[in-house]
């Protein structure tokens, strides 16, 4: 059998890998996904889309498709259990979309099927070599080993990433000191204290204390309804667990004991569908790219799932990388564009690593630590502090470094503006950059990039600018302010187009 050929191999069929594969296909690149599991697990795992992830799904026309598998919306987020409001961030989605990870994956696989992207299940990556023209990967299937040659390979294969281990990059951080488990549980009889509807994740935290006193069971957690009759997600932080327990499967007795400790004796479990342990081990790779191999999602960073940021961080890694890698493969990327992936996303990942650490209260905190967390609770009630934390956890406040005027919109996400006949998000569906301008003369400047930038003249721009250029991932990379002379704006626009979208077409 000959070596299979493609442009990019994406290793890992979770949300990060599936979004990246879709972005590459949208950019005109041949891509295939290799996934170790023979079929999608169906496990709920992550349970939310943050507001910024809802926005980027909207940029590709994916949000409504994804909503088919959602449980509804949660009107607020949280920072270490402290409620956060998304109001004031100029978003059409000031909420979290409550959706099990399996639903996200299902919607993304439907999109990949429409794009003709192969998802090779039951293919386990066991090795790869880099060379001048690309990467040759060795995969193992039930039929034996085979090779795939590609120009690039991206590891989106989770916290225990094979790609990361084979690549040998540094993965500094801290070992686990707290241990927890999750389980999807079907109840025959639901404990009376369990909420059946949720406005936010905070509603899931168990309030019952008497049961813990009776059973002597320590720990915190709660149950989140998953839409199906009697089906709930249990999250339990177990202060009595130890590092050596992590390799031991979660037993049904452990699940029952945790529920009794949280809610009392009046419930009856019919089935434990799956259960898994996790910890607060926190690490981030020191390089997101080594020549022709890149890392994204949990392969690049692991952290405690505080605030529900993990899936969203990985999806946004993929959105940042996809258009840049596609442009590189197709040969029209400006010099250094692919290197901006690490430059932009490593600081974002580091910030999530830090804020999840800040949200994790030690099992037996000293009085000083308790006092600090109490102070954070008080500060989070202040409108400006609450807005700051909400922007950080949701991803709405991300601002990449971009040369140009010192303006708060430059490098930040372009809000989904309402134009006379549509929202600006629809202009991003093809995966191109977008230029909005009140000066039709800018259309001629952008003309040589028409295969990469959708330029639109508008009568009015509801921004403090007369023109704005946004990258395919929805972040602004150029602004014309009202006081900018036309000739100067034209020169600036041409420079921005070359900087982010490469040479003009002849």
Q: Quick one: 104 and 209 in the same domain?
A: no
Count Cβ atoms within 10 A of the Cβ of residue 39 and give its class: 0-12 exposed, 13-18 middle, 19 or more buried. Answer: exposed
Q: Which of 210, 245, 279 is the last residue before a domain boundary? A: 279
- C-alpha dihedral (477, 346, 308, 168), degrees to nearest 10: 140
Q: Which of 234, 251, 279 is the last residue before a domain boundary? A: 279
- Alpha helix positions (H), 195-275: 210-215, 252-263
Q: Quick one: 94 and 109 in the same domain?
A: no
Whether residue 482 is contained in a domain is answered as yes
Q: Is the pLDDT of residue 210 over 50?
A: no
Q: Are strands 467-470 and 433-437 parallel, antiparallel or unpaired?
A: antiparallel
Query: What pLDDT does residue 217 have?
Result: 55
Query: What pLDDT does residue 264 have?
Result: 87
pLDDT in tens, 255-290: 999 999 899 888 899 999 999 999 999 999 999 999
CB 297 within 8 A of CB 158: yes
How far is 291 from 153, CA to CA, in rounded Å? 10
Q: Is the pLDDT of residue 453 over 70?
A: yes
Query: Which of these, 355, 225, 231, 253, lies nearest to 303 by C-alpha position?
Result: 355
Q: Quick one: 260 and 304 in the same domain?
A: no
Query: What pLDDT does residue 207 have?
Result: 59
Instruction: Locate the DSSP E strands across 289-334.
Output: 289-290, 293-295, 301-302
Q: Which of 279, 306, 341 is the last residue before a domain boundary? A: 279
Q: Quick one: 32 and 136 in the same domain?
A: yes
How far is 291 from 133, CA to CA, in rounded Å? 11
Q: Quick one: 78 and 113 in the same domain?
A: no
Read off the tokens for 3: 């070596």
DSSP state for residue 423 in the 8-state scheme: B
3-state secondary structure of 62: coil
C-alpha 302: how far from chain center = 12
How far is 388 from 185, CA to CA, in rounded Å? 35
DSSP state for residue 428 in the 8-state scheme: G
Give how many domains the chain has, as a whole number. Answer: 4
Whether residue 413 is contained in a domain is answered as no
How far is 358 from 302, CA to CA, in rounded Å? 15
Whether residue 373 is contained in a domain is answered as yes
Whether residue 414 is contained in a domain is answered as no
Q: Label residue 196 left, alpha or beta by phi (over 0 means left) and psi (-120 to 50 means alpha).
A: alpha
Instruction: For the chain, give the mean pLDDT.
Output: 91
Q: Label residue 437 left, alpha or beta by phi (over 0 means left) and psi (-120 to 50 means alpha).
A: beta
> How much of the chain exceeds pLDDT 70, in percent?
96
pTM of the predicted protein model: 0.94
Give residue 472's domain range: 424-501
Whether residue 354 is contained in a domain is answered as yes
- Alpha helix positions (H), 149-209: 162-167
Measured over the CA atoms of residue 187, residue 193, residue 196 and residue 198, the dihedral's sign is negative
Angle between helices 310-330 and 51-59 (to 10 degrees): 30
Q: Quick one: 275 and 199 in the same domain?
A: yes
Whether residue 406 is contained in a domain is answered as no
Q: Quick one: 335 and 461 in the same domain?
A: no
Q: Label residue 110 left, alpha or beta by phi (over 0 means left) and psi (-120 to 50 means alpha).
A: alpha
Query: What pLDDT does residue 208 have?
Result: 46
Place of tokens 């790609």: 163
Q: Quick one: 115 and 13 in the same domain?
A: yes
Confidence of residue 19 (pLDDT cuts 50, 70, 90): very high
Query: Which of these, 144, 174, 157, 125, lies nearest to 14 by C-alpha position?
Result: 157
Q: Quick one: 220 and 293 in the same domain?
A: no
CB 300 within 8 A of CB 288: yes
Instruction: Locate the DSSP E strands across 207-258.
Output: 220-225, 231-237
How far is 326 from 364, CA to CA, in rounded Å? 49
Q: Quick one: 193 and 270 in the same domain?
A: yes
Whether residue 415 is contained in a domain is answered as no
How far is 31 from 12, CA to CA, in rounded Å? 13
Q: Quick one: 88 and 105 in the same domain?
A: no
Query: What pLDDT does residue 209 have?
Result: 45
Identify any residues that bridge with 33 across adjacent strands, giving them in sequence order: 10, 119
How far is 472 from 358, CA to CA, in rounded Å? 33
Between 360 and 383, where is the model more confident? 383
Q: Quick one: 75 and 210 in the same domain?
A: no
Element (H, E) at 48: strand 48-49
pLDDT in tens, 128-169: 999 999 999 999 999 999 999 999 999 999 999 999 999 999
DSSP string, 137-164: EEEEETTEEEEEEESEEEE---TT-HHH
How far is 479 from 468, CA to CA, in rounded Å? 5
Between 305 and 136, where is the model more confident? 136
């Amino acid at each position: 059998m000959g070596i299979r050929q493609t442009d990019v191999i994406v290793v890992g069929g979770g949300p990060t890998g599936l979004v990246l594969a879709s972005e590459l296909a949208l950019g005109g690149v041949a891509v295939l996904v290799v996934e170790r599991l023979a079929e999608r697990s169906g496990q709920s795992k992550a349970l939310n889309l943050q507001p910024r992830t809802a926005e980027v799904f909207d940029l590709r026309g994916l949000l409504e498709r994804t909503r088919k598998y959602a449980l509804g919306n949660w009107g607020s987020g949280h920072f270490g259990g402290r409620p956060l409001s998304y109001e004031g961030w100029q978003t059409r989605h000031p909420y979290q979309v409550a959706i099990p990870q399996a639903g996200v994956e299902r919607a993304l696989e439907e999109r990949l099927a429409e794009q003709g992207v192969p998802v090779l299940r039951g293919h386990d990556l066991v090795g790869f070599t880099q060379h001048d023209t690309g990467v040759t990967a060795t995969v193992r299937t039930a039929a034996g080993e085979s090779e795939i040659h590609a120009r690039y390979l991206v590891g989106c294969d989770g916290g225990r990433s094979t790609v990361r281990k084979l690549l040998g990059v540094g993965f500094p951080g801290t070992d686990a000191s707290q241990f927890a488990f999750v389980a999807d549980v079907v109840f025959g009889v639901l404990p009376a204290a369990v909420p059946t509807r949720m406005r936010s994740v905070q509603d899931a935290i168990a309030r019952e204390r008497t049961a813990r006193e009776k059973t002597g069971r320590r720990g915190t957690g709660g149950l989140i309804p998953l839409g199906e009759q009697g089906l709930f997600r249990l999250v339990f932080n177990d202060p009595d667990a130890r590092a050596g327990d992590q390799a031991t499967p979660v037993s049904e007795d452990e699940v029952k004991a945790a529920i009794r400790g949280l809610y009392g004796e009046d419930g009856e479990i019919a089935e434990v569908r799956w259960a898994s342990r996790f910890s607060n081990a926190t690490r981030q790779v020191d390089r997101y790219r080594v020549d022709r191999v890149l890392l994204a999602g949990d392969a690049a960073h692991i952290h405690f799932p505080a605030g529900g940021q993990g899936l969203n961080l990985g999806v946004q890694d993929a959105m940042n990388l996809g258009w840049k890698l596609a442009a590189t493969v197709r040969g029209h990327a400006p010099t250094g564009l692919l290197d901006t992936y690490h430059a932009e996303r490593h600081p974002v990942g580091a910030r999530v690593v830090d804020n999840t650490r800040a949200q994790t209260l030690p099992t037996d905190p000293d009085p000083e630590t308790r006092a600090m967390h109490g102070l954070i609770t008080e500060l989070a009630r202040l409108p400006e502090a609450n807005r700051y934390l909400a922007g950080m956890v949701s991803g709405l406040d991300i601002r990449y470094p971009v040369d140009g005027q010192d303006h708060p919109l430059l490098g930040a996400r372009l809000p989904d503006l309402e134009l006379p006949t549509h929202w600006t998000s629809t202009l991003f569906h093809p995966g191109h950059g977008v230029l909005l301008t009140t000066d039709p003369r800018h259309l001629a400047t952008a003309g040589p990039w028409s295969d990469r930038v959708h330029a639109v003249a508008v009568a009015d721009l509801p921004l403090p600018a007369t023109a704005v250029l946004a990258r395919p991932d929805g972040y602004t990379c150029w602004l014309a302010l009202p006081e900018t002379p036309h000739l100067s704006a034209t020169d600036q626009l041409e420079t921005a187009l070359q900087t982010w979208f490469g040479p003009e077409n002849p």
